[in-house]
């Protein structure tokens, strides 16, 4: 006979004892250029969502959601609650998660993907809007946050290898068994797993004993996020909000601006190999602590011509058969594949840009990168092939 556990009582959080922020100073989500307060649900610490999830602290924010650590009063565990803005459609993300639930597999890469626990709707306190809420297992800090805490702001070779093995395993599962393209790999979407869950109870106690600074604006409170400590768990791939079902030819603009694959910039159809390009870009970010491509003109504005000129320098001349797939390519190359774009091609290459390594170690690292950073998608290695690359496997069995 099953033992029914009694729900936990909600914690009563302090009503005073925090630093007050000047109402005229923008903080957190208010600093987003497109911020509109009426679009965000006015979450407050101590609030209980869906009759079970009590908010115990703020984990972060973005243009379309705020993220909170909650205590599940029914299951006696912690969860991460993502509360979306009123105008944000998350149907695609929910569709992907529902699809993943139908995939019956023992692929190890599944454990490197953050699952969805529950979806529910929350009506704003004024009754004027409805917000979609996603419930996930809690995770630690992002790789972007981690890098900023490391000496020199960069990861060691061993850390990069461990991370990329997990991401490639997740992608191999998505591509080969789930038939899903992620399209949005970036350090912000890779979070550390949590080995020791006491950091979550310590997070809650810290909020109770020493509340974060905040400012009150009439009907809402803007809280500062409370950082989690480094958790040293397995890196997990998150955020399927831009994922696509089907790994064959697709159309449309995808990927973060400075990570876009050449076929996306040139308005070609694309497939799952855009994720492989993305992995190469993320590796460079983590290991070099700077973006491989700036993609900006002298006015600091995003400019495809400057982006493609940088690609020309790093990748060399694109194959004519690749350019022939895009009418837009004639804006930047002539019919013989000669660069004619307005932006100058920089005087460097991948070898000169990489300055951390020497000798054979550098050669092996760049050879690994070049398996991902190719003009032609079909020339990029698959996630499975990359998992067994000598550079990635070196030191694995010592």
Annotated catalytic residues are: 184
Residue 386 φ then ψ, to 5°: -70, -30
Show Cβ contacts of residue 46 under 8 Å, excluding neighbours closer than 6 positions: 10, 11, 12, 13, 54, 55, 56
Tokens 């998350």 belong to residue: 90
What residues form DSSP beta bridges with 289?
Answer: none
Tokens 């550079």 belong to residue: 391
- Report the length, in residues, of the chain: 398
Tokens 């300055």 belong to residue: 355
The DSSP code sequence of 216-252 is EETTEEEEPPPPPPP-EEEEEE---TT-EE-SS-B-S
The DSSP code sequence of 331-395 is GTB-TTS-B--SSPPPS--HHHH--S--HHHHHHHHHHHHTT--SSGGGSPPHHHHHT-HHHHTT
The answer to whether the beta carbons of residues 145 and 189 sit under 8 Å apart is no
- The first and second tokens of residue 44, run together, are 């407050």
CA atoms of 271 and 248, how far apart (whole Å): 5
CA atoms of 4 and 325, how far apart (whole Å): 62
Give the residue among 85, 67, 88, 83 at the shortest CA–CA distance from 119. 83
CA atoms of 334 and 244, how far apart (whole Å): 33
Can you tell me whether residue 276 is helix, strand or coil? helix
The reply to whether 82 sits in an annotated binding site is yes
CA atoms of 109 and 236, how far apart (whole Å): 10
Give the residue among 266, 264, 298, 297 at the shortest CA–CA distance from 278. 264
Q: How many CB atoms lie within 10 A of CB 13?
A: 18
Tokens 């809280």 belong to residue: 223
Q: How many CB atoms lie within 10 A of CB 379?
A: 14
Report helix angle 359-370 to 273-288, nearest 10.
150
Which residues are part of a known binding site for ATP?
82
Which residues are part of a known binding site?
82
């Amino acid at each position: 006979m099953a033992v029914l556990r009694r729900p936990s009582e909600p914690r009563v959080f302090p009503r005073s004892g925090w630093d007050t922020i000047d109402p005229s100073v923008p903080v957190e989500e208010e600093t987003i250029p497109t911020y509109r307060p009426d679009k965000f649900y006015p979450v407050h610490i101590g609030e209980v969502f869906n009759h079970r999830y009590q908010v115990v602290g703020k984990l972060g924010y973005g243009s379309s959601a705020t993220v909170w650590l909650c205590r599940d009063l029914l299951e006696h565990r912690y969860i991460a609650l993502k509360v979306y803005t009123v105008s944000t459609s998350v149907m695609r993300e929910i569709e992907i998660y529902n699809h993943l639930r139908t995939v019956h597999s023992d692929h190890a890469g599944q454990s490197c993907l953050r699952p969805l626990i529950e979806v529910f709707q929350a009506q704003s306190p004024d009754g004027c809007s409805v917000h979609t809420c996603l419930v996930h297992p809690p995770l630690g800090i992002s790789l972007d946050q981690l890098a900023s805490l490391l000496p020199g702001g960069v990861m060691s070779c061993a850390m990069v290898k461990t991370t990329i093995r997990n991401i490639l395993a997740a992608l191999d599962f998505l591509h080969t068994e789930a038939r899903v393209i992620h399209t949005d790999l970036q350090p912000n979407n890779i979070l550390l797993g949590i080995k020791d869950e006491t950091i979550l109870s310590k997070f809650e106690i810290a909020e109770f004993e020493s509340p974060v600074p905040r400012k009150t604006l009439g009907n809402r409170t803007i809280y500062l996020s409370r950082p989690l400590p480094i958790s040293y768990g397995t890196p997990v791939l998150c955020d399927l909000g831009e994922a696509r079902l089907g790994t064959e030819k697709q159309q449309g603009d995808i990927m973060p601006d400075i990570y876009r694959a050449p076929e996306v910039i040139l308005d070609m159809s694309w497939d799952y190999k855009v994720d492989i390009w993305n992995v190469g870009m993320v590796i460079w970010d983590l290991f070099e602590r700077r973006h491989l491509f700036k993609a900006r003109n002298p006015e600091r504005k995003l400019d495809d011509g400057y982006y493609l000129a940088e690609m020309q320098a790093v990748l060399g001349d694109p194959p004519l058969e690749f350019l022939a797939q895009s009418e837009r390519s004639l804006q930047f190359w002539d019919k013989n594949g000669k660069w004619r774009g307005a932006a100058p091609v920089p005087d460097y290459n991948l070898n000169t840009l990489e300055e951390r390594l020497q000798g054979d170690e550098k050669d092996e690292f760049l050879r690994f990168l070049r398996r991902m950073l190719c003009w032609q998608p079909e020339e990029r290695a698959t996630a499975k092939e990359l998992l067994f690359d000598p550079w990635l496997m070196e030191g694995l069995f010592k």
